[in-house]
Structures are given as structure tokens and as C-alpha cells.
Amino acid sequence: MNIRKFHHQDTQEIMQLFYDTVHNINIRDYTPEQVDAWAPQYMDYRRWNKHLNSKMSYVAELDEKIIGFAQLEPDGHIDCFYCHKDFQRMGVGSKLLDTLQTQAEELGIKRLFAEVSITAKAFFEHKGFQVINQQTVERRGVKLINYRMDKNIS
């Protein structure tokens, strides 16, 4: 497995990974209505490409297939963090998180934080993140629960 910076041509594959992961993995903790609102069938390619280019975006790949992606912002916020539905519990998330943390340390960031799904909460807790609070967010008019979590890295 290799972790590298996002390239423009990765966008479509990342969008599919996002959709498939939410609909096949997060469905364990959310309703069909919630996952449809979170990851709709039709997504805007240009919007996704702009979003991926606007942050420090990384992909995990194996045999030229993207098996995960994650994003870091200059303030320590982890934005998107997804592992391919067929590569869960195989170290993909750990390698991506290690990459984000190393990048954050190089930038002098002292704390990482994220809004984490019910599904991902245990992973982040295992990696030393603590729940700050449970929150309800709205996606396309549908309410979902997630957790604001953080970790001091200095």
C-alpha cells in the first residue's frame, strides 16, 4: 500500500469510493434515507474536484487502485476520511491517519480534530481521539448524528 498526494485524475474514483463506502459500511449505523442524503447517487464532479484540490488530500492505493482517501486542513481539521468498502480493517485508515499526523506535525499543528461518523468513532478512539461532543448535522434536509473528536499531537 502506498500513500500519496491526490491527483486531479483521482476524483471520479474517489467519488465512487465515497459512495460505495457510505452505502455499504455506514449503512450499519445509519438509515437508508440518511446514507442517501450523505452520499447521493448523483454527485457534482466539479464540486468534488474543487473540494479535493482545496485541502491537503491524500489517497491510499494498492495495485493502482484507490483504497482510501483523507484530507487535512491547515488548522488541524480532518475533513474527509474514508476507506474502501472492500479494504476495511486492513490498515488503510491507520496509514492515512499516520500520514495526516506526520503532515500536521511538520506544519506545527498541535491538535487534530474531526467530525466522525458513528461507524468511525471506535477507530478514532483507538487512535487516541476523544469525544468532545455528540452533534446532529443536516445533509440535504436529513439529520444525522456524528461526533466531534480531537487529539493533541504535540
CB 140 within 8 A of CB 39: no
CATH of 2-109, one of 3.10.129.10, 3.40.630.30, 3.40.640.10, 3.40.50.2300: 3.40.630.30
pLDDT digits (tens, 9 = 90+) for 62-79: 999 999 999 999 999 999
pLDDT digits (tens, 9 = 90+) for 83-135: 999 999 999 999 999 999 999 999 999 999 999 999 999 999 999 999 999 99
Per the prediction, the chain carries an average pLDDT of 96
Q: In this structure, what C-alpha cell is assigned to residue 49? A: 474536484
If pLDDT is split at 50, 70 and 90, which confidence band does 154 have?
confident
| pLDDT score, position 20 | 97
DSSP string spanning 19-58?
A: HHHHHHTGGGTS-HHHHHHHS-SS--HHHHHHHHHTSEEE
